[in-house]
Amino acid sequence: MKEFSKILKTTVLLVLVIVSFNTCKEKEKKSFVNLSSIEKIKKRGKLIAVMDFNSTNYFIYRGEPMGYQYELLQLLAKELDVKLEVKVENDIDENFNMLSKGECDIIAINLTITKDRANKINFTHPHSQTHQVLVQRKPDNWKKLSKDAIDASLLRNQLDLAGKVIFVQKGTSYAQRMKNLSDEIGDSINLIEKADKEVEELIEMVANGEIEYTVADENVALVNQIYYPILDIKTAVSFPQNLAWGLKKGDNLLKNEIDNWLKEFKGSTQYALIYNKYFRNPRSVRIIESDYYAIASGKVSKYDDYIKQYSETIDWDWRLLASLIYQESRFKSNAQSWAGAFGLMQLMPTTARRFGVNKNSSPEKQIKAGVDFIKWLDKRFEKRGITDEEEKLKFILASYNVGLGHILDARRLAEKNGMNPDVWENNVDEYILKKSNPKYYKDPVVKYGYCRGSETYNYVYQILDRYEHYKNIIPET
């Protein structure tokens, strides 16, 4: 009977603990739900943005994420003291769905401010202004014609749009503008809305003669005219319009935070430089024509074939290995660091000798040696019981940067201080940061001494962050 009473008490105690734990978790969940958007962003430590990818907003060039919207968002995230997470969706209707469902905090594209949209979402302070233009093709022999002759062959009066077939991206303000213009001119415009074509794809179709007309914002059209000189974009079809980001309706605290930042930032030299870089830079045509403009080519570097080949031997996504190589050498096979690391994989001389390469080795052999080193690190952590592949990856990346010994030190410090030595984020990464502090690098459990841990901490984050950008834009195969 006493034994039964003891078991009963233990069971009751266990039930109370479970109920208490679940209640706490439920309260925490409810408290997060009740937070304002700006509080949620701060609490989770990241701003989640949905963007479209094209030649101005967001793209990969020579391994680096770039774009007007992307650079502005990076600076905004820095202002909010959080990280940036980018989701890609070129369907504008789906952008709005994601925002309403809480799958993102902000729609970061060239959203024209309209009354209809303002009833559904909050708009930020405008990040830029533009007006809509008709995109049409000059005659094939336009280089031999006078300006007057070219103008005579093109639509210059909005009344001339009557009866014409205009292709636009579905869900955009261009569609609404064409409908309004049809009413204004008192005649029909044959509008075809394409859900599967982004505005730049439609511009390219005009340039190639596949369709006759589309409509675009002038700043985007100007950039594309650099790539396709046969395009004419001089016929305006709207008044000047403000372009802004979209926020959830009623999201006033986040709106105020972003508006205050944008109003100040837009007056800065840095903003002017970013805007001019993407919209007024004639050299940008080199990006689009490059083999390493990933939207068009799917390539990151001239070593992609080797990267794909050897990434299979470690069961890595080739885009992850590419991100590591970019971090190490920017894909420069002759790169050399002040510490003596060399080549694409930036192996130190001792490590390089162990895996059979030197400064004169071919790029392929350099990549193979770096991958062999990764295999070696993988086995070291597997033997130490780190079996979760995502966690093990972070330990491998950190060790590739600073050496296995320092990471083992950080694991020992984490364990000694009650943290989980098998988990990187918010556990071992905190102690790699602390290894620059004498209090920690002189601890008896530390065998490898001082370490500038901030570099390694950032290294892991930057590679994984860039990998997410590669996944957004570059095909897996």
Q: For residue range 436-472, list pLDDT tens digits in order.
A: 999 999 999 999 999 999 999 999 999 999 999 999 9
Over residues 107-124, the mean pLDDT reads 93
Give the closest residue to 242 by CA, choosing from 129, 352, 320: 129
Q: Tally Cβ neighbours within 10 Å of residue 118.
A: 13
Which segment of 2-6, 82-86, 213-217, 414-418 scores lowest on mean pLDDT? 2-6
Over residues 137-157, the mean pLDDT reads 94
6, pLDDT greater than 60: no
- What is the Cα gyration radius of the chain? 28
Give the closest residue to 406 by CA, choosing from 416, 395, 415: 395
Residue-averaged pLDDT of the chain: 90
Which segment of 61-70, 288-297, 311-320, 345-354 scores lowest on mean pLDDT? 288-297
Q: How far is CA 464 from CA 70, 85, 167, in A?
A: 17, 11, 39
d(CA 347, CA 230): 48
Query: Would you place residue 32 in the very low, low, confident or very high pLDDT band (cuts 50, 70, 90)?
Result: very low
Phi and psi at residue 425, to the nearest 5°: -65, 130
Q: Is 222 exposed, middle or buried (0-12, 13-18, 19+ CB in 10 A)?
A: middle
Q: How far is CA 192 from CA 89, 120, 168, 210, 215, in A?
A: 21, 24, 6, 14, 11
Whether this model's pTM surpasses 0.95: no
d(CA 466, CA 327): 9
Phi and psi at residue 49, to the nearest 5°: -120, 140
d(CA 111, CA 123): 9
Give the closest residue to 200 by CA, choosing from 241, 233, 176: 233
21, pLDDT greater than 50: no
